[in-house]
């Protein structure tokens, strides 16, 4: 999705107008907080190649291996 | 019509007697309409289209296509346009009722080119967002081995219909285990290909960077043949990669003597019930008996991968489906709605960190595992299959934490983008199938299928079929 525009997070005020029960919104918010809390341990770690770049590289390596084996 | 024919046998028979193709297709459509609906697995049939495909194949002079005349049916997420109009594209959800396909899915077009007959669509969990197979709107498919038990999800209809022997294979989709979990629950071979190998164009999306497309089949050879047919670069899928073409079936008879296989006790075995872990260890020992080198491996930070994958799915699902979730939330299952909304609070910075974490995890697993072994063996289900009733989170909210555990062994594979093949190796305490998962380095599908075929010859799972009189 790196080449797509990322849609910003939903505002609670917007959600409140949808008619979705508060209990479900709260549960979703709590789940998000828990998961993003785990993610926060990964911040400030060094950046490297993207997933797509990694797999492009693996594909090239695999192609070379195939050529050699043939 | 004889049930339980392999795809390759049907293709051979069709080449010898092309006149048999329409009759076989007609019989299969009847079975999908009868047994398939009794299993709550059949979603959509288009007899006119399927029979016209069969008639065209019957008059084809070139019969060399690899899946010539082979009837397949697929998860309902796969789009199809026909001369009479598009097929439904409802994502297993009442929120999309009446929606139709915008295009024929790339994988479906590839199967058309390979000579297969498209016999319709099979039930999916709503938005492919669930691992038990429950679907209040489209139906909850029953497991042919025992109809009280779940098929797993989200490719639940695919698992049910293939296990019932109606068709030899079906496409599913896998974002956290949705091919492998139903394949394992139903005693089938499931293949989750490497990131970028099979295009997802025209498939109802859940998570842009994690969704993968692959087959469920009753044999390794059939799975390899279907995978072969659907691969290929597709510029319309931004995750598709130009991967060198290779013959996935070329090593099926080779055995495992040239392979090294790893077992990771931490997380995969310790996170599974003892009986599941023991059966995996038995399969690991069997591989060594067959000549493979066995080795214990460790994976650092594996614990964090599962929750990060859950966040990735939720975030990308929210990017795609949040408008529907907000406008038609009352039409969605509570679990589906909650999981989509949980991803709607993710910031762009969070998402960037998530993608970077994923890339680091991939690089780490390559070094820690796949520099040492060719294959990592794990259980698929972490515990014995539950019944449909016991795992209905809607009716039994207490079941929710247990259900969260179902993807324990499968979700990390999606996050890591690796290929994986699962196959049945035995039976649980309730007489339902148990499988192992073989995970490989990127683009090692041929090696995984080589090992799976060797195990398949030992376990001879195909000697047994479910008692369909119970259905």
pLDDT band for position B393 (50/70/90)?
A: confident
> What number is the average pLDDT over the span B156-169?
98
Asked if residue B285 has pLDDT above 90, the reply is: yes
Q: In angstroms, rounded to a whole number, what is the distance separating the alpha carbons of residues B276 and B419?
A: 21
Residues A27, B155, B111, B449, CA torsion sign:
positive
Sequence-distant (≥ 6) Cβ neighbours of residue B363 within 8 angstroms: A48, A54
- The encoded tokens of residue B319 equal 């990017």
pLDDT of residue B119: 98
Listed in sequence order, the DSSP H helices in A1-70 are 12-16, 22-40, 51-69
Q: Which residues of B touch A33 (CB under 8 A)?
A: 345
DSSP letters for B363-411:
HHHHHHTTTT-SEEEEESSSSPPPBTTTT-TTT-GGGHHHHHGGGGGTH
User: Of B238, B241, B345, which has the smallest distance from its Cβ to A55's Cβ?
Assistant: B241
| Dihedrals phi, psi of B100, to nearest 5 degrees | -125, 165
> What number is the average pLDDT over the span B147-163?
98
Estimate to the nearest angstrom the gap between the alpha carbon of B231 and the chain centroid: 15
> What number is the average pLDDT over the span B43-68?
97
Q: Which residues of A touch B314 (CB under 8 A)?
A: 31-32, 35
3 state SS of A48: coil
Q: In angstroms, rounded to a whole number, what is the distance separating the alpha carbons of residues B278 and B201?
A: 40
Integer CA distances (angstroms), A9 to A6, A17, B208, B322, B383, in order: 9, 15, 17, 10, 36
CB contact under 8 A, A62 and B244: yes
Size of interface A-B (CB pairs under 8 A): 151
Q: Using only the alpha carbons of chain B, give its radius of gyration.
A: 20
Asked whether the beta carbons of B441 and B366 are under 8 A apart, the reply is yes
Q: What is the largest CA-CA distance in chain A?
A: 63
pLDDT of residue A1: 38
Asked whether the beta carbons of B58 and B18 are under 8 A apart, the reply is yes
Interval B138-153: pLDDT, tens: 999 999 999 999 999 9
Angle CA(B118)–CA(B93)–CA(B75) in degrees, nearest 5? 25
> What number is the average pLDDT over the span B180-194?
98
pLDDT of residue A2: 43
Interface test with B, best of A3, A52, A70 (most B CBs within 10 A): A52
Q: Which residues pair with B213 in a beta bridge?
A: B173
B2, with CB counted inside 10 A (0-12, 13-18, 19+), is exposed
Nearest to B170 by CA among B230, B214, B127, B132: B214
Distance from the A34 Cα atom to the nearest Cα atom in chain B, whole angstroms:
9
Q: Which residues of A touch B239 (CB under 8 A)?
A: 52
Distance from the B296 Cα atom to the nearest Cα atom in chain A, whole angstroms:
24
DSSP letters for B165-212:
TSSSEEEEEESSSTTHHHHHHTT-EEEE--TTSS--TTB--S-TTT-E
Percent of the residues in chain B that have a pLDDT greater than 70, as a whole number = 100
CATH superfamily of B126-470: Amidase signature (AS) domain (3.90.1300.10)
Q: Are strands B260-263 and B293-296 parallel, antiparallel or unpaired?
A: parallel
User: Of A9, A48, A63, which has the smallest distance from its Cβ to B347's Cβ?
Assistant: A9
pLDDT of residue A16: 87
Interval B362-379: pLDDT, tens: 999 999 999 999 999 999
Q: Are strands B117-122 and B71-75 parallel, antiparallel or unpaired?
A: parallel
CB contact under 8 A, B310 and A35: yes
Asked if residue B301 has pLDDT above 90, the reply is: no
Residue of B nearest to A18 (CA): B326
- The encoded tokens of residue B427 equal 């039976």
Lowest mean pLDDT among A15-24, A27-36, B115-124, B408-417: A15-24
- The encoded tokens of residue B332 equal 């969605």
- The encoded tokens of residue B316 equal 């990308």
Q: Which residues pair with B430 in a beta bridge?
A: none
Please give the torsion angle defined by the CA atoms of residues B243, B249, B254 and B259, in that order, rounded to the nearest 10 degrees. Answer: 30
A23 to chain B, any CB pair closer than 8 A? The answer is no
Q: In angstroms, rounded to a whole number, what is the distance separating the alpha carbons of residues B313 and B36?
A: 30
pLDDT band for position B435 (50/70/90)?
A: very high
- The encoded tokens of residue B348 equal 């762009």
Q: Which residues of A touch B341 (CB under 8 A)?
A: 10, 15, 20, 24-25, 28-29, 32
A8 to chain B, any CB pair closer than 8 A? The answer is yes
Query: What's the mean pLDDT when you consider all of chain B?
Result: 96
HSE-up (13 A, CA, CB side) for residue B267:
22
| Dihedrals phi, psi of B360, to nearest 5 degrees | -65, -40
Interface test with B, best of A4, A14, A19, A31 (most B CBs within 10 A): A31
Interface test with B, best of A54, A56, A64, A66 (most B CBs within 10 A): A54
CB contact under 8 A, B241 and A59: yes
CB contact under 8 A, B326 and A27: no
Please give the torsion angle defined by the CA atoms of residues B208, B450, B109 and B123, in that order, rounded to the nearest 10 degrees. Answer: -60
A62 to chain B, any CB pair closer than 8 A? The answer is yes
Cβ atoms < 10 Å from Cβ of A19 = 10
Helices (runs of H) and strands (runs of E) counted in chain B: 15, 13
Q: Which residues of A touch B209 (CB under 8 A)?
A: 1, 51
Q: In angstroms, rounded to a whole number, what is the distance separating the alpha carbons of residues B145 and B134?
A: 17
| Dihedrals phi, psi of B379, to nearest 5 degrees | -70, 165
CB contact under 8 A, A29 and B334: no
Please give the torsion angle defined by the CA atoms of residues B389, B4, B49 and B224, in that order, rounded to the nearest 10 degrees. Answer: 90
């Amino acid at each position: 999705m790196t080449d797509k525009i990322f849609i910003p997070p939903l505002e609670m005020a917007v959600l409140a107008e949808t008619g979705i029960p508060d209990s479900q919104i709260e549960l979703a918010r709590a789940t998000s907080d828990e998961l993003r809390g785990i993610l926060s341990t990964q911040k400030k770690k060094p950046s490297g190649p993207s997933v797509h770049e990694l797999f492009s590289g693996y594909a090239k390596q695999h192609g070379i291996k195939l050529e050699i084996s043939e | 019509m004889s049930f339980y024919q392999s795809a390759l046998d049907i293709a051979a028979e069709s080449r010898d007697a092309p006149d048999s193709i329409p009759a076989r297709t007609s019989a299969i459509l009847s079975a999908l309409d009868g047994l398939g609906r009794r299993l709550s697995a059949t979603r959509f049939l288009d007899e006119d289209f399927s029979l016209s495909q069969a008639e065209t194949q019957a008059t084809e002079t070139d019969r060399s296509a690899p899946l010539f005349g082979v009837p397949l049916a697929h998860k309902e997420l796969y789009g199809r346009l026909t001369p009479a109009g598009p097929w439904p594209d409802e994502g297993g959800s009442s929120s999309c009722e009446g929606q139709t396909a915008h295009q024929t899915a790339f994988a479906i077009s590839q199967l058309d080119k390979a000579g297969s007959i498209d016999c319709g669509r099979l039930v999916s969990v709503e938005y492919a967002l669930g691992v038990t197979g429950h679907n209040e709107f489209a139906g909850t498919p029953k497991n042919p081995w025992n109809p009280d038990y779940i098929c797993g999800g989200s490719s639940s209809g695919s698992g049910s219909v293939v296990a019932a022997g109606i068709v030899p294979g079906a496409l599913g989709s896998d974002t956290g285990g949705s091919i492998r979990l139903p394949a394992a629950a139903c005693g089938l071979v499931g293949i989750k290909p490497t990131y970028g190998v099979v295009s997802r164009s025209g498939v109802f999306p859940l998570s842009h960077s994690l969704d993968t497309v692959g087959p469920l089949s009753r044999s390794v050879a059939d799975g390899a043949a279907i995978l072969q047919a659907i691969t290929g670069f597709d510029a319309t899928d931004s995750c598709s990669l130009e991967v060198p073409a290779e013959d996935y079936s070329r090593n099926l008879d080779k055995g495992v003597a040239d392979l090294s296989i790893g077992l990771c006790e931490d997380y995969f075995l310790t996170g599974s019930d003892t009986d599941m872990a023991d059966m995996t260890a038995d399969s690991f020992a069997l591989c060594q008996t067959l000549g493979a080198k066995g080795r214990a491996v460790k994976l650092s930070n594996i614990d964090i991968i599962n929750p990060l994958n859950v966040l990735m799915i939720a975030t990308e699902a929210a990017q795609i489906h949040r408008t529907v979730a907000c406008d038609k939330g009352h039409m969605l299952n509570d679990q589906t709605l909650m999981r989509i909304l949980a991803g709607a609070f993710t910031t762009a910075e969070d998402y960037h960190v998530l993608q970077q974490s994923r890339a680091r995890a991939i690089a780490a697993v390559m070094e820690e595992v796949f520099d040492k072994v060719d294959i990592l063996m794990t259980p698929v289900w972490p515990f014995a299959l539950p019944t449909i009733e016991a795992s209905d989170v809607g009716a039994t909210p207490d079941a929710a934490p247990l259900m969260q555990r179902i993807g324990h062994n499968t979700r990390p594979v999606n996050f890591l983008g690796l290929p994986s093949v699962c196959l049945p190796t035995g039976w649980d305490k309730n007489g339902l199938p148990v499988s192992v998962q073989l995970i490989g380095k990127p683009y090692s599908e041929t090696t995984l299928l080589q090992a799976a075929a060797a195990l398949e010859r030992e376990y001879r799972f195909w000697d047994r079929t479910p008692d369909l009189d119970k259905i």
